[in-house]
Amino acid sequence: MQSTDVIATNSTINANTDSHDKWQQTIGLGGALAIVIGSILGIGVFLTPQIVAQHVPNTKWFLGIWAVGGLMALAGAFVYAELGSMFPHAGGDYVFMKEAYGKPVAFLSGWICLAATFSGSIAATAVALAQYYIGPNVAFMFNQYLGMDIGNSFYTPFFTLGMIKISWMNVVAISFIVIFTMINVLGINFSTIVQGFIAFTPLVVLIFAAIYAFAINNGYSMAASMNATTPAGSSSSGSVSILPLGLALLPVFFAYSGWSSAAYIGSEIKDAKRNLPISLISGIGIIIFLYMLLNLLFIKGETMASLRAMPNFLDAAALKSFGPIGIPVFLTLVAIAIMATINSTILTGPRIYHSMAKDGMLFKSMGKLSPKYRTPAYGLMLQGAIAIAYVLLGGFETILNYTTMMIVIFSSITVIGLIILRRRKPAQAGEFRSPLYPLFPAIYLGMSAFLMISIGILKPLMVVRAGVIIAVGLAIYYVFAHKKVARSANT
């Protein structure tokens, strides 16, 4: 008996019959929308504006980059909505690429999801939650209630082994990964209930809070903000270097990432051909509206110099709009939003690994569902372990840039896949078709090309690292392919 078969005999997780490996369609439109919104609305919009400000000349460009990022995400959502309606199965990109290109390219997509994009996104959001919310609150409570100034001890490593550095911040980030992984092991129904609360609560409150800030506070309005996007002290004209705009767009794309999340759980969505496209397109539309409101709030009365020096956009926006009482309220809402991002990313990733295992491209255990909870428990645990490794090895911005670049590369390959499938596969009754075709694929691919050219010229080492990961993925694919051929020859 092979080692993977030994693992597969665990009675608490694996099934003995094919019926145990069938997904249940239990997620309605509201649940799918909560997963999309929760996947997007997280720490990105509150931590990446400072990075964006480093690469743009004035606040009009600052807002413009966020609008361009939103357009790119919306274009991608229309493409994935059509693909998800065409193939409403578990796996998202892996399934789409398998249909368009075959298994080698599909495997690379799934490998990158496991080794980089999903695991890296989970790690980045968990680190951000620990670093920017838990850390400051721990310091405040020690100072307020115990009279102790703990300084940077929360962030200072207490154990070091080579590249691995463990601080209390790492411990907290890892704890969140473990907790939400276990929530998803316990069942999709429980997970979507949690997701609905932690996704919609901060969304609704933040939208109303931002509108209130514009309409009520000091007579400030959205129109006034748009007319004041170039405050005194910043440049309103002159030459703009194009390539740095790519580096500004990269973190914005990360902030919008997650717009494709419902496409990975198509097998579990009720009436997926209808509800999956609605959840993707409406979800990103709501987020674009909120992000533009928040960024208008961020630039209120600011110069580019002050934006670049602002360590925490959330605190500044809360303070200038609602006074000191706004800071803890906003911080709590953002913490809840980050938890929603962690939960939804953990939820969707293992659906890819499950599809890969079913095709013989990953360990057999990855293709089994828990007979008790009907969840891909082994896939969840493997993904969690890789995310924990990222927490121990990298900081927030490093993980962010690396993860986002890989998302851009492979989502672009998926978008090209739609063009191939449009020619190869006629439309079926009830399937969603993206309007204005091929406008949305062209928008997405054009912006992706600009991003990759900018990164290749200004950050060539990132491209080299991506190439190494892809090469490793190809090697692993041929190992699994060889084993599959050998098994077939022996039967």
- Average confidence (pLDDT) over 126-148: 78
Length of the chain, in residues = 491
Retrieve residue 403's tokens. 């993860």
Q: Which helix (H) or strand (E) holds 223?
A: helix 222-227
Distance in angstroms (rounded) separating the CA atoms of residues 315 and 319: 6
Nearest one of 51, 42, 198 to 132, comparing CA atoms: 42
Q: What pLDDT does 232 receive? A: 34
**Across 289-298, 319-328, 350-359, least confident range:** 319-328
Over the stretch 342-358, which tens digit does the pLDDT of each residue have? Answer: 888 898 889 889 888 88
pLDDT beyond 50 at 18:
no
3-state secondary structure of 101: coil
CATH number, domain 30-484: 1.20.1740.10
| Spatial contact of 341 and 136, defined as CB atoms under 8 Å apart | no
> pLDDT tens for residues 256-284?
988 888 888 888 888 888 999 999 999 99
More confident residue, 319 or 262: 262
Mean pLDDT of 26-39: 87
> Could you give the CA distance from residue 340 to residue 200 in angstroms, rounded to a whole number?
9
Tokens for 67, please give them. Answer: 């609008």
Confidence at 485, pLDDT banded by 50, 70, 90 = low
Would you state the structure tokens that stand for residue 54, as one six-digit string?
Answer: 């480093």
More confident residue, 70 or 393: 70
The per-residue pLDDT for range 139-181, each reduced to its tens digit, is 777 777 777 777 677 777 777 777 777 888 889 999 999 999 9
